[in-house]
Every structure is written in structure tokens, then in C-alpha cells.
Structure 1
Amino acid sequence: MVNAGFSIEDGIARIELQRPEALNAVDMPTKREIIDRVQAYKTDDDVRVVVFQSEGETFCAGGDVKEAREREYALEPFTESWNELFEAMMGLGKPTVARIDGYTLGGGFDLMLHTDIPIAAEDAQLGQPEVGLGIVNHFSPPMLQAKVGLTKTLDMMLTGETISGEEADRRGLVARSVPSEDLDDEVDAVAESLAAKSPRVLRKLKDGIYATAEMSPRAGRSYLEAVSLEAAREDPDYEEGVSAQLEDREPEWE
């Protein structure tokens, strides 16, 4: 049984975790289906943006810990499948958005970190409690250090304590935070804005940003400049975007 729903409408694909009774913990069959869908969305022209969301009042409490015992506590199947999902998301070539509310823990926290634009309710609770399960988390620390620094990373990872969505926004862990009653409208507005952009420009920009994440500022600037100049020469988006603005109309992206 797959505990998730999938839909596509107006260029927006939605992946909804549907296991609220278990705080939307992701079991292996569900994770496998999500991986397959994300990989398929990469070549689906009907998909321009992917939104991760959940049924109920919790985004995701991570993986299903019951499966750990069933698999005789082997950790590799879980880490390998999460890694496959995160690589598929970063290599999707299309923007991803996360709707963060309630508890966002463990693998759910890692999932949030690997979306391009996570949007949190101010009262959401985010954290990495794996230390209490005897697990040495390896997904979050490198990304956390880049976002919040060494001391805050040590604090979050070693204590396992949660922080609010509002605090996560202040630390730069989410793109923005809003009152919980405004969360749906904010997520929809961002997704619709992304769906209206040139898919080709978004792909090249997203790929370029991830490619330059570990470069020096000078090397990253040179890399993206080469991408930008080549796109302006070879793609129709630059001419169409400028023409549309000068002619006071909406651009028509190929």
C-alpha cells in the first residue's frame, strides 16, 4: 500500500503524504513510489513545479521506525532510498516547494532541506531527533552547517530539540514563514508564480545554482555567466521575456 497521493493541475504536481495517523511517517513502498514519480516528472512537460505536502496537521515525522526492526536494524536500505530521493529532487530541473506544518522531524526534516523553497507555518515544529534513536544522522549536518553555521548545527543535532517555523525562518532553514492560516495561500501563490515562469530558464538556473553551491564566489559567478550567455544566444526565452514586457503582455514560453 502506498500512503501518498499524486496529482497534476495547471503545471503543478502535488505529492501528498497520506498517513496522518502515523504523523505521515514514510514507509519504504511509499518512498519508492515518490522516487519513481519525481523521476518521471523530470521529462513530463505537464509538470512545471512539484509541491510536497501532507494530509492532516503534520508534515512528516520521518521514516517508519517499525521497518527498522523488520529489517533487523539494517540502516543502509533507509539511507540509500532517502539519498536516491534527494538526488532525484535536486536533479529534477524543476522547482520544488514544501508545505511545512506541524511536526517536521528526522527524514521529514531532511526532505524539507532538499526542497528548493520550503514554506513553514510559524508554529510548525522542526528538528532532528535521531540522536535519541541512537542514529548518527548524515544527511542534515553538512547542509545545516552551510545554512546556520557550526554552533547551531551542533545544538540542533546533539540535543535533538525542535525549533519553530518562525525560528527556522530566522535561521535561514526555510524560505519563508507565515501564520498557519495563511500557509495554503502562500504555498499556492509561490507554486503558481513558478509555474508561470519559463521552464527552460528555471531548469538552467536551478541546475546552475546547485552546481555552484560548493564553488568559490568567483568560480560560481563565472560558471553561471557562461550558462547565462549561452542561454541568451541559443534559447528564445530572453527575447520573448523582454518583448513581452515591452509590449505589456504575458510571455508565451515554448
Structure 2
Amino acid sequence: MTDVNAEFSVADGVARIEIRREAKLNAIDMETKLAMTDRLRDYRDRDDVRVVLFESAGDAFCAGGDLQEVKERDYALEPFTETWDDLFTEMRTMPQPTVAKIDGHTYGGGFDFLLHTDIPVAADDAQIGQPESALGIVNHFSPPELVHRVGLPTTMDLLMTAEPISGERADEIGLVSRSVPADELDAAVESILDALAAKSPRVLKKLKRSIYASAEMSPTAAKSQVEAVSLEAARTDPDYREGVDAQLERRDPEWSS
């Protein structure tokens, strides 16, 4: 692929994907979406990748898709929704946890990107919004996830008015996992990455899968489903014994793959 506006690196268990298109507020073009999707498919089976971080250069996380591409493709929407869907599906189904560092403008596809990240962390002054209604677009990625996460009235407000909210407000309504002062964002994200990279990859994989599966169930069914996964893991995996022994022996656990 050519003209991919992202950089990829792996070190110390963390795969970092940095969007680099500052001149367009890190709007993601189709080539970059395809490259990111392919890279995630590669990461899912790598033992040296324990967590994936999405971040961006400059003062914006992601202004969504590239509107110039929309016009060049005679306003056909399907190619853009299909490439977003492929990326979001890969993010949601990959075994490793994903983290997003949300700063500056986070609009449109960037908003949907946030929704499909396991742990989005925002600067308190970030501007987060869904402007599709102002562009004549009926957004289809956000509504189901938003209703589940923030409730019907807030979903209506965000999607119909298209007015952005701050990172602090996004934290208050449960749209992000936490918000911090902008000058503390890097440190907060690095702390989360360290915590995730130190955990058993097998435990986090089963936990992530169970959480997303149980989100579609009734509370009773969800409890039974997650309990079954937990008991089976304790019987068959070495992590439970190693974790307890390490705690009792006051040492760091040595997780197997």
C-alpha cells in the first residue's frame, strides 16, 4: 500500500499505531484504514503484542473519514462504511486489549473509533462529537453502542444536535473509561499500558471475550456465562495457580503464553 498515514511499532509488549495526518486533523483515508486493519490481523497472533495503543500526532485524535474521498467516489457511502466496519470488527474481536489516547478533536469516524476501543482515555479538554447529521448522513455505527453505553436521551442529544462535548463530560456519561488533565494524559495512558502488559495474556483474552459476549445477554445469563469461563480457566490454565503463588511468594508472576 502507498500513502499510508500511520506509523506502526512494537516494543515492551505494546503495539503502537499512530495516525499521522496533522494537516487534516488526522482524518483517516481508506488506504490507512486498510493498513491498520491488516496490521491488527498480524498482531492478534503475536506473543510479543500484549496490548494495542491507538494515538495520533498533533493536536487532534481523529476528525473521522476523509470527506474529499467521499466526493471523489461520487458520494458512494458503502466503501467507507465497509472499511470502517472491517477495522472496528478487528478491534473488537482481537484477543489483546486496545487503548485509545483521545486528545483534541475526535469527530465522526473518530467518535466511532473511540466507541470500539476497549479502554478509551481522554484529555479533559478533548472535543468529542458526532457531526454526521449536520452532513446529511444517518450514522449507523454509533447508535446501538451509544444507547447501550449512555442511554437513549443522551444518544438522541449527541447524534441529533451534533454538538461536541468535552473529554470531561464524556467521562461523566460513561463514554470513555476516564478523563485526565491534558498534561497528564501521556502518563495516565502509559500507566494503563504497563498494567495491561503485566497481566496474563490468556486471562485478558478470555476476560475480553466474556465481557463482550455477556453484554448481549440478560444479567442472569451473563453471570452464568462468565462464571463458566472462569471456572474452566481455573481448572485448565496455569495462570490461577501462578498468580496466587506469586502473590504469596511476593514476586512478579511469570505468565506462560
Which bracket does the TM-score occupy, shorter chain normalised?
over 0.9
- Corresponding residue for residue 115 of structure 2: 113
Note the alpha carbon deviations across 1:149-191, whole angstroms, 9 max, x for none: 1111111100100000000000000000000000000001101
Counterpart residue identity of residue 4, structure 1: A
* Distance in 2 between residues matched to 1:202 and 1:139, nearest whole Å: 26
Map 1:47-66 → 2, pairs under 5 A: 47-66=49-68
Map 1:124-143 → 2, pairs under 5 A: 124-143=126-145
Confirm whether residue 248 of structure 1 aligns to residue 250 of structure 2: yes
Secondary structure of 1:79's counterpart equals helix
Aligned length: 254
For residue 184 of structure 1, the aligned residue among 183, 186, 192 is 186
Note the alpha carbon deviations across 1:205-252, whole angstroms, 9 max, x for none: 000101111100110010011101110111000000000000000000
User: TM-score, with normalisation over the residues of structure 2?
Assistant: 0.98
* Distance in 2 between residues matched to 1:72 and 1:40, nearest whole Å: 33
- Corresponding residue for residue 157 of structure 2: 155
Moved over 2 A (4+): none
Secondary structure of 2:54's counterpart equals strand
- Corresponding residue for residue 171 of structure 2: 169
* Distance in 2 between residues matched to 1:76 and 1:89, nearest whole Å: 20
Note the alpha carbon deviations across 1:117-165, whole angstroms, 9 max, x for none: 0000000000000111110000001111111111111111001000000
Task: Give 1:72 deviation, angstroms.
Answer: 1.0
* Distance in 1 between residues matched to 2:22 and 2:210, nearest whole Å: 36
Counterpart residue identity of residue 237, structure 2: D
* Distance in 1 between residues matched to 2:69 and 2:133, nearest whole Å: 18
* Distance in 2 between residues matched to 1:116 and 1:139, nearest whole Å: 16
User: TM-score, with normalisation over the residues of structure 1?
Assistant: 0.99
* Distance in 2 between residues matched to 1:208 and 1:94, nearest whole Å: 13
Task: Give 1:196 deviation, angstroms.
Answer: 0.5
* Distance in 1 between residues matched to 2:115 and 2:22, nearest whole Å: 21
Confirm whether residue 78 of structure 1 aligns to residue 63 of structure 2: no
For residue 67 of structure 1, the aligned residue among 47, 66, 69 is 69
Structural RMSD (CA):
0.5
Counterpart residue identity of residue 215, structure 1: M
* Distance in 1 between residues matched to 2:41 and 2:161, nearest whole Å: 35
Counterpart residue identity of residue 12, structure 2: D
Note the alpha carbon deviations across 1:28-80, whole angstroms, 9 max, x for none: 00000000011111001110000000000100000000000111111011111
* Distance in 2 between residues matched to 1:239 and 1:36, nearest whole Å: 36
* Distance in 1 between residues matched to 2:67 and 2:241, nearest whole Å: 52
* Distance in 2 between residues matched to 1:185 and 1:19, nearest whole Å: 23
Task: Give 1:83 deviation, angstroms.
Answer: 0.7
Counterpart residue identity of residue 80, structure 2: F
* Distance in 1 between residues matched to 2:99 and 2:10, nearest whole Å: 14
* Distance in 1 between residues matched to 2:26 and 2:203, nearest whole Å: 34
- Corresponding residue for residue 95 of structure 1: 97
* Distance in 2 between residues matched to 1:93 and 1:216, nearest whole Å: 24
Unaligned ranges ≥5, structure 2: none
Confirm whether residue 46 of structure 1 aligns to residue 41 of structure 2: no
Counterpart residue identity of residue 150, structure 1: L
* Distance in 2 between residues matched to 1:86 and 1:21, nearest whole Å: 24
* Distance in 1 between residues matched to 2:39 and 2:191, nearest whole Å: 23
* Distance in 2 between residues matched to 1:72 and 1:38, nearest whole Å: 30
